[in-house]
Amino acid sequence: MNVAVLIPAYHEELRIREVVEGALRHCSQVIVVDDGSSDGTRVQLDGLPVQLLVHAQCRGKGESLRHGFRAALALGVDGVLTMDGDGQHSAADIPRLLEAASRHPRHIVIGARVKKRSQQPILRRLANEFGDWGIAWACGYRIIDTQSGQRYYPARVAALGDVPGEDFVFEAQILISAARLLGTRCVSVPIESRYQCAGASADDPGEQFRASHFRPMRDFGRITCHLAMQILRRGGMLEIYRGLRDQPPLIDDPSGEFATAPPPKLAKTQ
């Protein structure tokens, strides 16, 4: 497949070069969108063969993704693979996501952070689980790890216009828009996401990551309000719930570790 890797970046000087170099080992077309960083993010990219798009001011992750999608589509790609610039996603997982995309044409492929999930900060994990539940109702089918930023989007999904929402809300809404407008579904590929370990310091960069841009109270509230409106507008909540109950999420895992595990059961209605 003709694919571009898209990396939105905001204050990512700590890890961005490592992330981009990893992506380049698997894909020759890498696009970085610097969203108004005031640190050394752009300096860290000196000498790397990437397409760099720069925002004079911070516009949010949603606008960074829209900008990057337009640039990727101009290259005539079949799809766009996104990953965050903070180093929490491994470029080594890129081939696995692309293999899943080949096995599941026209699907969005999500790198689902289910390996060593106990390492994920508790507030993030709870927010992710709630997001999975809400987005399932809005999309009409169940998905594992709807908040992951490591994804493969088919070109027709990246080309969707007028997808509302900014920051983390955009990444939720594009799944909903793709389901409703295109009938596109998601398949999840188990990955491991790295988080800063206790005692990490500048002397141990292998364990150090910048603080997450996700703010549990602010972003959780925004996502919740957005999903509530989407669910209410769609209507038919009880029928959708009953349909979701017996639909396991689609997981692409040739090892069988996760694909063969019984799906979590939703409580039956009275």
264 lies in a domain? Answer: no
Q: What is the pLDDT of residue 161?
A: 87
- Mark 43-61 as b/e (b = at least 16 C-beta within 10 Å): ebbeeeebbebebeeebbb
259 lies in a domain? Answer: no
254 lies in a domain? Answer: no
pLDDT mean for each 10 residues of the chain (270 residues): 96 96 98 96 97 96 96 98 94 96 96 73 64 81 90 98 82 92 95 61 54 56 65 63 72 78 42
- Inter-residue contact 32 to 13 (CB < 8 Å): no
Residues 6+ apart with CB under 8 A from 204: none
CA distances in angstroms from 130 to 17, 98, 149, 223, listed in the order given: 33, 27, 16, 10
Q: Dihedral of CA 269/259/109/1: which sign? A: negative
Q: What is the pLDDT of residue 104?
A: 95
- Inter-residue contact 259 to 189 (CB < 8 Å): no
132 lies in a domain? Answer: yes
Q: What is the pLDDT of residue 121?
A: 59
Q: What is the pLDDT of residue 168?
A: 73
Angle between the N-to-C axes of helices 167-177 and 216-234, in degrees from 0 to 180, rounded to the nearest 10: 30
253 lies in a domain? Answer: no
Q: What is the pLDDT of residue 7?
A: 98
40 lies in a domain? Answer: yes
Bridge pairing between strands 151-154 and 30-35: unpaired
268 lies in a domain? Answer: no
Token couple for 162: 């007028």
**Single pTM value for the model:** 0.81
What is the C-alpha separation between 200 and 219, in angstroms, rounded? Answer: 26
Range of the domain at 36: 3-245
| CATH code (residue 65) | 3.90.550.10
Domain count, the chain: 1
14 lies in a domain? Answer: yes
